[in-house]
């Protein structure tokens, strides 16, 4: 009886999401992210039934160090998009919230203009989750936003830690925001992240800072010429913008549109999505297998014993892993 009632709710939620109802997306995400299996399973059921309705949104990743001007930029950029009739979602990933309980992205009022817009969906990461958990939640959020018919999904992350790589693996276009004053920032942002960028935009190019920003942009453009060519055949651009003066915000969008056109013609757009889907299928599977191991008290107990034996030099870590794997294997076979 209970299940039937829930099923009705899920159907209702599904049709509300398909109608682009923002509150229902939040409700669905709360279900998916719930630690209670009955809610979590309902969330999964919803995601499954929405699969056939999946639409094609453009997914844009935006990263940069704290203070580079991400939220101010997304505010201006998202507003520009909504003014041209696009429906925009912003999913913010804050890698600090899981580890420290604190937050880099969440502490302040962000995206003042955009958050007032009734059709814009803005969601921070659920706090207290692991990077793997965050990745999954973000993928599911993207999925729901696509089903709800959003045209542009922006995924924002702080330019520290591993979260950029994760965001890069779930977006079509990756935008790196940088401050002028080069040298220092080159060290702050790892070269690998610069190599991932499809465009590099120097922020705060206004007032006294304008010339410096132009110079930095040229330096970065030169540096980027030395990077290996991209599989997308897209040649990354570097330019400046000012979110405060709304300068070059449209150039960012035009660049992204050119990228979309070019990669849809040469086939990369679709190929890239397939590569990403394959990657995430495998990642999710790995995580499920790991969870199964690490959520089993008996196996954890055995793990502790093996660790001690390894510390004492009684067995090698390889041997310990193999024994544990065998124990895991027989448990899985035993329960299925
Ligand atoms: P985030 O931490 O990357 O999200 O950065 P914020 O968007 O919060 O911006 C950090 C600071 O830079 C704030 O004080 C903003 O007012 C300022 N800022 C952001 N964009 C611009 C800009 O285009 N020009 C100038 N002059 N300041 C900006």
* Lowest mean pLDDT segment, chosen from 75-79, 90-94, 189-193, 205-209: 189-193
Q: Whose CA is nearest to atom 21 of ligand 1?
A: 204
* Lowest mean pLDDT segment, chosen from 116-120, 157-161, 203-207, 289-293: 157-161
Q: How far is the CA of 45 from the centre of ligand 1 (A)?
A: 41
Q: Whose CA is nearest to atom 9 of ligand 1?
A: 69
Q: Which of 62, 69, 205 to mutate to test the pocket of ligand 1 (most atoms within 8 A of CB)?
A: 69
pLDDT of 99 strictly over 50: no
Mean predicted confidence (pLDDT) in 29-53: 82
pLDDT of 96 strictly over 90: no
Q: How far apart are CA 160 and CA 64, in angstroms?
A: 8
Structural element, H or E, at residue 73: helix 70-83
- Confidence band for 139, pLDDT divided at 50, 70 and 90: confident
- Confidence band for 320, pLDDT divided at 50, 70 and 90: very high
In the prediction, which pLDDT does 23 show?
A: 87
Q: Which atom of ligand 1 is nearest to the CA of 177?
A: 3
Q: Which atom of ligand 1 is nearest to the CA of 241?
A: 23
What confidence tens digit (pLDDT) does each residue in 169-212 have?
Answer: 999 999 999 988 755 555 566 778 888 999 999 999 999 999 99
Closest to 141 in 3D by CA, of 155, 160, 130: 155
Mean predicted confidence (pLDDT) in 304-324: 96
Ligand 1 — pocket residues by CB below 6 A?
64, 66-72, 203-204, 206, 242-244
SS3 of the chain: CHHHHHHHHHHHHHHHHHCCCHHHHHHHHHHHHCCCHHHHHHHHHHHHHHHHHCCCCEEEEEEECCCCCHHHHHHHHHHHHHHCCCCEEEEEECHHHHHHCCCCCCCCCCCHHHHHCCCCEEEECCCCCCHHHHHHHHHHHHHHHHHCCCCEEEEEEECCCCHHHHHHCCCCEEEEEECCCCHHHHHHCCHHHHHHCCEEEECCCCCCHHHHHHHHHHHHHHHHHCCCCCCCCCCCEEEECECCCCECHHHHHHHHHHHHHHHHHCCHHHHHHHHHHHHHHHHHHHHHHHHHHHCCHHHHHHHHHHHHHHHCCCCCHHHHHHHHHHHHHHHHHHHC
Beta strands in 208-292 (DSSP E): 237-240
pLDDT of 264 strictly over 90: yes
- SS3 of residue 177 by DSSP: strand
Tokens of 321: 């892993």
Among 116-120, 129-133, 137-141, 175-179, name the most confident range: 175-179
Q: Of residues 85 and 113, which shows the higher confidence score?
A: 85
């Amino acid at each position: 009886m209970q299940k039937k009632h829930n099923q009705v709710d899920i159907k209702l939620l599904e049709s509300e999401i398909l109608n682009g109802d923002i509150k229902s997306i939040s409700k669905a995400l709360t279900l998916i992210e719930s630690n209670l299996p009955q809610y979590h399973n309902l969330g999964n059921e919803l995601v499954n039934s929405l699969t056939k309705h999946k639409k094609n949104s453009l997914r844009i990743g935006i990263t940069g160090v704290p203070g580079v001007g991400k939220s101010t930029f997304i505010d201006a950029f998202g507003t520009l998009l909504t003014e041209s009739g696009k429906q925009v979602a912003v999913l913010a990933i804050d890698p600090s919230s899981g580890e420290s309980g604190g937050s880099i992205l969440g502490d302040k009022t962000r995206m003042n203009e955009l958050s007032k817009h009734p059709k814009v969906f803005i969601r921070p990461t659920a706090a207290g989750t692991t990077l793997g958990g965050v990745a999954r939640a973000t993928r599911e959020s993207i999925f729901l936003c696509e089903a709800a018919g959003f045209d542009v999904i922006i995924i924002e992350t702080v330019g520290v830690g591993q979260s950029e790589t994760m965001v890069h693996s779930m977006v079509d276009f990756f935008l790196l925001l940088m401050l002028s004053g080069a040298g220092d920032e080159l060290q702050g942002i790892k070269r690998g992240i610069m190599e991932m960028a499809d465009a590099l935009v120097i922020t705060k190019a206004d007032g006294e800072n304008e010339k410096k920003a132009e110079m930095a942009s040229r330096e970065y453009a030169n540096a980027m010429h030395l990077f290996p060519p991209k599989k997308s055949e897209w040649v990354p651009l570097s330019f400046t913008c000012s979110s405060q003066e709304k300068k070059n915000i449209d150039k960012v969008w035009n660049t992204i549109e050119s990228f979309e056109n070019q990669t849809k013609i040469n086939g990369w757009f679709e190929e890239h999505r397939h590569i990403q889907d394959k990657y995430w299928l495998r990642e999710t599977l790995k995580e499920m297998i790991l969870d199964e191991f690490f959520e089993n008290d008996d196996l954890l107990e055995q793990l502790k014993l093996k660790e001690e034996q390894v510390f004492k030099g009684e067995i090698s870590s390889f041997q310990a892993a193999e024994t544990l794997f065998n124990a895991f294997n027989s448990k899985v076979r035993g329960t299925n």
